[in-house]
């Protein structure tokens, strides 16, 4: 008895949007079994990671802070992926955006004014876009695969942080620690809820997702991204340039990753440190697919992944679970999501040897 995959004529909409929920549920079930088998309290791990962040009201503010950069970067990646442009280096663009914003903050350290923070944000977006332009240039001019170039550039950006915080940007009053000086008050992102850590980046993330949804569904730019990604031959016939689409995809996704970097360095970090790369850029890939490459869905995906981050921190202190457990749950979630996507688009058909011979 043999099995083969048979393409469905039209994937079910219910299955398409229900798969992310099923992937989360399967992650919880399999995660509980897996961690129980290796000697941990598997049920307790799932409870602490997926349930406690909602039941503990003190952790709600952490969810917003963790979700904001994931949503912003995830929106940019969803736009690029809809056009079949595989930007895997959003982490590097996030880092460069943070470095560009830091450069503005240090250059204006002795100055005051409302304009400093907006200038940092613009610098962060420009830095991320320019860093995203490198793999776009290599792809369109030399035909180099953008997956490899964007990914490898991430490590270059991390080394740039290590150099800058240990040499030209090192805080002279920092007791020898590799970090910049703390930003001036006008270079810090304000908190929107007094007494909490919820900063202005949280509503900015929601606004970015809403604007991106409108642009992708109601503009020529969005139509171009969708058509080039779904039917490149038809796109060329319609006058849409593939190279232009690659440039637009990288510039937009890079700018949004740089925006997230600028908001993080001026918000939670308040200075540049070697620990600034937090894998938000890589994790946002899961966020984009959880959100079905739809900007509104990315909000849901960002919140789900933020729950695993916050819950993972809780599980470390409550049941002694390793920090790497968060990555295990996120990896399982991506695996089940991709497996579900396969079943959404294909059905498993049992084939007898006689039928196979006739075919």
- How many helices and strands in the chain, by DSSP H and E? 15, 2
Instruction: Round to whole Å and give the CA distance between 51 and 312.
Output: 11
Among the listed ranges 241-250, 283-292, 333-342, which one has the minimum average pLDDT value? 333-342
| Res 1 pLDDT > 70 | no
Q: What are the chain's domains? A: 69-313 (1.10.3470)
Q: What is the mean pLDDT of residues 218-231?
A: 86
User: What is the per-residue pLDDT for 196?
Assistant: 85
Sequence-separated (6 or more) residues with CB below 8 Å from residue 181? 106, 109, 171, 172, 173, 174, 271
Mean pLDDT, all residues of the chain:
89
Cα–Cα distances (Å) from 177 to 87, 171, 173, 220, in that order, read 33, 8, 9, 50
50 DSSP assignment: I
Q: What pLDDT is stored for residue 167 in this prediction?
A: 87
pLDDT tens digits, 64-120: 999 999 999 999 999 999 999 999 999 999 999 999 999 999 999 989 999 999 999
Model confidence at 353, pLDDT cuts 50, 70, 90, reads low
Angle at alpha carbon of residue 355, lines to 353 and 359, rounded to 5° = 115
At residue 205, the pLDDT reads: 96
pTM recorded for the entire structure:
0.92
Calculate mean pLDDT across residues 257-266.
96
The pLDDT assigned to 359 comes to 55
């Amino acid at each position: 008895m043999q099995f083969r995959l048979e393409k469905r004529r039209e994937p079910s909409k219910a299955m398409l949007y229900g798969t992310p929920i099923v992937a989360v549920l399967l992650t919880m079930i399999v995660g509980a079994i897996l961690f129980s088998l290796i000697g941990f309290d598997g049920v307790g791990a799932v409870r602490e990671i997926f349930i406690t962040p909602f039941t503990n009201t003190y952790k709600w503010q952490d969810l917003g802070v963790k979700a904001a950069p994931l949503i912003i970067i995830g929106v940019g990646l969803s736009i690029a992926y809809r056009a079949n442009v595989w930007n895997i280096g959003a982490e590097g663009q996030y880092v460069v955006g943070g470095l560009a914003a830091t450069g503005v903050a240090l250059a204006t350290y002795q100055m005051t004014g409302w304009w400093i923070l907006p200038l940092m944000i613009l610098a962060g977006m420009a830095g991320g876009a320019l860093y995203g332009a490198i793999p776009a240039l290599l792809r369109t001019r030399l035909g180099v695969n953008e997956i490899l170039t964007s990914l490898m550039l991430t490590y270059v950006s991390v080394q740039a942080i290590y150099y800058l915080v240990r040499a030209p940007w090192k805080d002279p009053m920092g007791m020898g620690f590799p970090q910049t000086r703390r930003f001036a008050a006008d270079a810090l992102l304000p908190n929107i809820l007094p007494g909490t850590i919820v900063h202005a980046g949280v509503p900015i993330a929601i606004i970015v997702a809403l604007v991106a949804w409108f642009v992708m569904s109601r503009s020529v730019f969005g139509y171009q991204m969708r058509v080039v990604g779904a039917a490149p031959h038809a796109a060329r016939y319609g006058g849409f340039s593939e190279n232009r689409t690659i440039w637009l995809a990288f510039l937009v996704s890079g700018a949004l990753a740089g925006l997230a970097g600028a908001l993080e360095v001026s918000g939670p970090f308040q200075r540049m440190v070697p620990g600034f790369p937090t894998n938000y850029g890589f994790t946002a890939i899961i966020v984009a697919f959880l959100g079905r490459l739809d900007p509104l869905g990315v909000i849901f995906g960002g919140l789900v992944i933020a729950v695993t981050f916050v819950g993972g921190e809780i599980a470390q202190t409550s049941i002694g679970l390793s920090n790497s457990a968060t990555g295990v749950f996120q990896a399982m979630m991506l695996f089940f999501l991709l497996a579900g996507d396969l079943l959404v688009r294909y059905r498993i058909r049992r084939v007898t040897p006689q039928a196979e011979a006739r075919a």
